[in-house]
Chain A
């Protein structure tokens, strides 16, 4: 389903990813944890092609992209867009389009990118809004929604492209604690429905509940990987133990 081989990425001279290998089956929920600056977010952004890896190979749903340089030919760009459509991205800062209504936010990509007839896209949007519990907000603008509601719309917007995998980049970090739960609930439900997900988060309890596998990033490498039980209760590496103790006492 997802295969990442030896992914390397530097910003100028600072290495951020030092050779990441990652294999994920359909329906698996993988949670990435680790100290800030360890490369978790960059890893997600490489998967979604917002960053170009220096070397390595990414395969999602049968589409493979080699690292090295940004796409130059039309064919390469087309393949990049194929990959992006298979990987839905949810950002820490929501990034809803403020000039479009909730419904238009959701239908924009299906109509423009996939050529879905507007009426079908509207029906899809209605369905997704029911799923995230915002059926009555279709015609309002993002600025009128709370942060939690905006993030739920952002999830619906990504789902509307029917991706193979959903990538969440600290989706609740920008939210007040009382708004986090509504977003987590939506994600929990997605996981239960069998959506393949990769989640970067600092919500350790949630990670423990939802993850089928936890990956601990440190210094641009995968330091440790295993079941939530194993990572949280019985970590093998010193760095993992140190990190978890800091997070726990926070």
Chain B
């Protein structure tokens, strides 16, 4: 990745100079520069510990968004981070004789980011599982966690994994809880990008329970009077630090540091300080490393019959979503355009304000407001309708502008001729102006439709599982980003290209000026 980026950057700079016109010596010099630009990626391998000591900083990857009590912005001083892992990182760095620096990264993308050398280690509730160990090296554990079911206070008898069957249950994306429930089967799994959103939906009665790691449950659910920890924690496991496989020296140094912190009770002190210490932590010393066999990387392209149907199921959701959202966008957009052109003044202002506000604010925020904000005023939409509404109302602003431009492009004489014949304004609009305008706007509307088709992936933030989300989930479990990526891109293209063909066919069919 880095090499490619460096090459691309170097070439952009060199090409305008006239690459082919230059002397051979110049070209060789540039080739060397390009090679060297890629070198650090290879040189860096195997000696991250040296790099850390030289730099004097241990860069640790974590997600502070909804990250309490692991690592989160201090409510008193939001520019600084606190949390038990934050303390731990500091203590570990001190053992190595360096300072710790947190690098923010979305939680379910921590492993790929580590492999791309965005930071030196992962220290963020990463579970010590064979799946993770096949991908990266992991230190000895530093914390014992367990799974905890959280429900609303008024919910009874959801205390074990068996009770969750047939219920809508929220989990954190690619967490152990997700894998646990997937294995159990028969559970209405709802996957969230963060911890805050799942509790919000639990309170909003969109889901019946949340299954998650005990420290999170203790931190978020216990102080909340409307929620309860239901049943006893189960399925204990270890958190450990993730390190690239090429870094055995770093791994050894961290193992030693964790051992020291455990022996001198620094770990206990930190965990007690954040209220996450329990009896289970005594099992840390019982840990015996288990050898994990390297598995051959999965080629999803070769095993496509297994993966393609899953992707296609996601694609079906994407298609349904974008078609329905487009209907909303077209109907609302046309209405807005007509109001803006022909309405009386206050209505015109409203239509214009709508367009400006919807165009001028991010779709992501609009989706959050519709899905998580509206329940607070008593309007509770399910994720599918919220997604359609969010996408549709957002794109309606674009469509309104398309239609307005289309209507205004029709010569005024058309309206006059229709009025002169005795048609009402409405009749003239419907029979004369709009049919001509609609044909004019086919290309921009098609363009928007295809853009929306691809933009629709954003609705995964409100728990919709569509094509891109399926891709992300499969890629996370197989680590075959390229094979799955090619398949997913292929599906998107196979669906959007016919749409543009259909549009040009329609355009040709509605052609009346040079038949």
**Which residues of A come within 8 Å of B, CB atoms?**
48-50, 77, 81, 84-85, 87-89, 91, 93, 95-99, 108-109, 112-114, 141, 143-144, 154, 157-158, 161
B417 within 8 A of partner (CB): yes
Total A-B Cβ pairs within 8 A: 72
Whether the pair A91, B417 counts as a contact (CB closer than 8 A) is yes
The contact string, 1 if C-beta is below 8 Å from chain A, for chain B 86-111, is 00000000000000000000000000
Q: List 16 A-B contacts (CB under 8 A).
A: A88-B420, A89-B417, A95-B413, A95-B416, A97-B417, A97-B432, A98-B512, A108-B432, A109-B422, A113-B423, A143-B512, A144-B515, A158-B420, A158-B421, A161-B421, A161-B422
Whether the pair B423, A112 counts as a contact (CB closer than 8 A) is yes
Chain B residues closer than 8 Å to A157, beta-carbon distance: 421
Whether the pair A84, B419 counts as a contact (CB closer than 8 A) is yes
Whether the pair A48, B420 counts as a contact (CB closer than 8 A) is yes
Which single residue of chain B is at the shortest CB-CB distance from A142?
B512
Q: Give min CB distance, A196 to chain B, whole Å.
A: 17
The contact string, 1 if C-beta is below 8 Å from chain A, for chain B 416-460, is 111111111001000110011001000000000000000000000
B414 within 8 A of partner (CB): yes
Whether the pair B416, A91 counts as a contact (CB closer than 8 A) is yes
A91 to B424: give the CA distance in the assembly, Å.
19
Q: Give min CB distance, A165 to chain B, whole Å.
A: 12
Chain B residues closer than 8 Å to A97, beta-carbon distance: 414, 417-418, 432, 436
Q: Give min CB distance, A170 to chain B, whole Å.
A: 13
B286 within 8 A of partner (CB): no
Chain A residues closer than 8 Å to B436, beta-carbon distance: 97-99
Whether the pair B421, A84 counts as a contact (CB closer than 8 A) is yes
Whether the pair A141, B421 counts as a contact (CB closer than 8 A) is no
Whether the pair A77, B512 counts as a contact (CB closer than 8 A) is no
Chain A residues closer than 8 Å to B513, beta-carbon distance: 98, 141, 143
Given A143-B514, A144-B515, does the pair A95, B421 have CB atoms closer than 8 Å? no
Q: Give min CB distance, A191 to chain B, whole Å.
A: 21
Q: Is the interface of B mostly helix, strand, loop or mixed?
A: helix
Chain A residues closer than 8 Å to B419, beta-carbon distance: 49-50, 84
**Which residues of B come within 8 Å of A, CB atoms?**
411, 413-414, 416-424, 427, 431-432, 435-436, 439, 510, 512-515
A97 to B418: give the CA distance in the assembly, Å.
9
Whether the pair A99, B512 counts as a contact (CB closer than 8 A) is yes
- Smallest CB-CB A-B distances: 4 pairs: A95-B417, A109-B421, A89-B420, A95-B413
Whether the pair B424, A81 counts as a contact (CB closer than 8 A) is yes
Q: Give min CB distance, A185 to chain B, whole Å.
A: 23
Given A98-B436, A144-B515, does the pair A109, B413 have CB atoms closer than 8 Å? no
Q: Give min CB distance, A88 to chain B, whole Å.
A: 8
A99 to B511: give the CA distance in the assembly, Å.
8
Q: Give min CB distance, B408 to chain A, whole Å.
A: 16
Q: Give min CB distance, B406 to chain A, whole Å.
A: 13
Contact among A81, A95, A141, A143 for B414, CB-based, below 8 A: A95
Whether the pair B435, A99 counts as a contact (CB closer than 8 A) is yes
Chain B residues closer than 8 Å to A89, beta-carbon distance: 417, 420-421
Chain B residues closer than 8 Å to A141, beta-carbon distance: 512-513, 515
Q: Give min CB distance, A174 to chain B, whole Å.
A: 11
Whether the pair A143, B515 counts as a contact (CB closer than 8 A) is yes
Question: Which has the most chain B C-beta neighbours within 10 Å: A85, A95, A113, A141?
Answer: A95
Contact among B411, B424, B431, B510 for A108, CB-based, below 8 A: B431
